[in-house]
């Protein structure tokens, strides 16, 4: 009916679709890194939008080559047949708050990289390095006194100044996200869970999105990367699936919560030790993370508080 490459201009896209509006039953948009503006514009204009989960869509094997035209035709066919694998379109406002925490996560990683850089510099020039906490307390003025060469001081001082800016930005993003979520009852339920504090509770709540989109707890566990991925035939392993399919931020939050829970909850620590005696530390801690993930699903779906006996029976 119509085929044309358009610029990334929402007004132009809507104008091009207008003549066919009555015949359009659905629009498919691939879940790439830059879909926000297009999906929001189409939804606001009243179109029914389907966000294609590109990782779950199998390309038509009969195609000898693939380009945008053939991909668009294939997505349209999957939609018409009811076989389109879809992703979730979170509300615009909640998506923006979630992205604040994702930005915070990147800043934390950069901050950690700077701490390691200072430690490496001390280790190369002094044979030993201060602890991470000591570096966080180190002032630019004090850094020059601890190094044997005056030319090394600017390198450490510039890194420390960058760390101070990152710490301020991290606090700002954390405060903004918490201010918009702290009143929600499901957030308070998560804060009562062993191992889950403010940042982990925010991450789990915002990365989960509407809990209704997960029909069963197994779907949620899979989305959180808490289950394995194997291909079996006649009881024998024939390969592994995509273990990275799912939400990496939820996977990180559950694993962090598991480590804190093992440290501070006696009941969960006993469960971890029993598991570790039978397997190893990595498998045992991931088992604890799986249990906590399932507990979070129940709390978000039922609106209940954390029950350690129920979760780790």
pLDDT value at residue 32: 83
pLDDT band with cut points at 50, 70 and 90 for residue 100: very high
pLDDT digits (tens, 9 = 90+) for 169-178: 999 999 999 9
Q: Is the pLDDT of residue 205 over 90?
A: yes
Assign residue 127 a region: left if phi > 0, alpha if psi is -120 to 50, beta otherwise?
left
The full DSSP string for 54-107 is: GGGPPPPTT-SS--HHHHHHHHHHHHHHT---EE----HHHHHHHHHHHHHHHH
First to last CA, the chain: 59
pLDDT band with cut points at 50, 70 and 90 for residue 266: very high
Which stretch of 65-69, 121-125, 287-291 has the lowest confidence by average pLDDT?
A: 65-69
Stated pTM of the model: 0.83
pLDDT band with cut points at 50, 70 and 90 for residue 306: very high
pLDDT value at residue 235: 66
pLDDT value at residue 286: 93
Name, in order, each residue with C-beta under 8 angstroms of 178's C-beta and a sequence gap of 6 or more: 198, 202
pLDDT value at residue 23: 92
Short-list 225, 186, 226, CA closest to 209: 186
pLDDT value at residue 249: 93
Q: Which residue has the tokens 């780790």?
A: 312
**What is the overall mean pLDDT for the chain?**
88
Q: Is the pLDDT of residue 58 over 80?
A: no
The DSSP bridge partners found for residue 239 are 231
Q: Is the pLDDT of residue 116 over 90?
A: yes
Q: Is the pLDDT of residue 313 over 80?
A: no
pLDDT value at residue 36: 92
pLDDT band with cut points at 50, 70 and 90 for residue 1: confident
pLDDT value at residue 62: 66
pLDDT value at residue 242: 61
pLDDT value at residue 60: 65
pLDDT value at residue 244: 67
pLDDT value at residue 42: 95
pLDDT value at residue 217: 93
pLDDT value at residue 145: 75
Angle, in degrees to the nearest 10, between helices 281-302 and 248-264: 110
Short-list 206, 188, 195, 187, CA closest to 285: 195
Q: Is the pLDDT of residue 101 over 80?
A: yes
Could you tell me which residue, 179 or 231, shows the higher pLDDT? 179
Which stretch of 32-46, 134-148, 175-189 has the lowest confidence by average pLDDT?
A: 134-148
Which stretch of 2-16, 31-45, 119-133, 211-225 has the lowest confidence by average pLDDT?
A: 119-133
Q: Which residue has the tokens 């029950």?
A: 307
Q: Is the pLDDT of residue 57 over 90?
A: no
pLDDT value at residue 138: 86
Could you tell me which residue, 98 or 54, shows the higher pLDDT? 98
The full DSSP string for 169-207 is: HHHHHHHHHHHHHTT-HHHHHHHTSTT--HHHHHHHHHH
pLDDT digits (tens, 9 = 90+) for 73-86: 889 999 999 999 88
Q: How far apart are CA 66 and CA 54, in angstroms?
A: 14
Q: Is the pLDDT of residue 239 over 60?
A: no
Tokens encoding 187:
């957030």
């Amino acid at each position: 009916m119509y085929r044309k490459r358009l610029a990334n201009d929402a007004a132009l896209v809507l104008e091009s679709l207008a003549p066919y509006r009555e015949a359009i039953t659905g629009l498919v948009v691939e879940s790439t890194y830059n879909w926000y503006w297009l999906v929001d514009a189409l939804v606001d204009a009243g179109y029914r939008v389907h966000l294609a989960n590109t990782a779950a869509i199998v390309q038509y094997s009969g195609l000898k080559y693939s380009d945008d035209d053939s991909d668009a035709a294939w997505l349209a066919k999957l939609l018409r047949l009811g076989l389109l694998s879809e992703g979730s379109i979170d509300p615009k406002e909640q998506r923006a708050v979630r992205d604040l925490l994702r930005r915070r996560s990147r800043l934390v990683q950069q901050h950690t990289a700077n701490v390691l850089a200072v430690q490496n510099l001390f280790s190369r020039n002094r044979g030993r390095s201060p602890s991470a906490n000591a570096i966080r307390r180190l002032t630019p003025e004090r850094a020059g006194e601890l190094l044997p060469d005056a030319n090394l001081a600017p390198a450490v001082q510039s890194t420390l100044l960058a760390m101070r800016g990152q710490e301020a930005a991290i606090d700002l993003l954390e405060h903004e996200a918490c201010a918009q979520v702290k009143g929600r009852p499901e957030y308070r339920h998560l804060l009562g869970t062993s191992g889950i504090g403010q940042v982990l509770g925010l991450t789990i709540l915002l990365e989960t999105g509407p809990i209704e989109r997960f029909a069963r707890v197994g779907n949620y566990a899979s989305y959180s990367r808490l289950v394995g991925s194997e291909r079996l035939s006649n009881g024998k392993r024939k390969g592994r699936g995509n273990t990275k399919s799912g939400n990496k931020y939820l996977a990180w939050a559950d694993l962090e919560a598991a480590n804190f829970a093992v440290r501070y909850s006696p009941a969960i620590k006993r469960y971890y030790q029993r598991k570790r005696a039978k397997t190893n530390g990595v498998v045992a801690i991931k088992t604890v993370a799986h249990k906590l993930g399932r507990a979070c699903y129940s709390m978000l779906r039922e609106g209940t508080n954390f029950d350690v006996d129920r979760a780790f029976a």
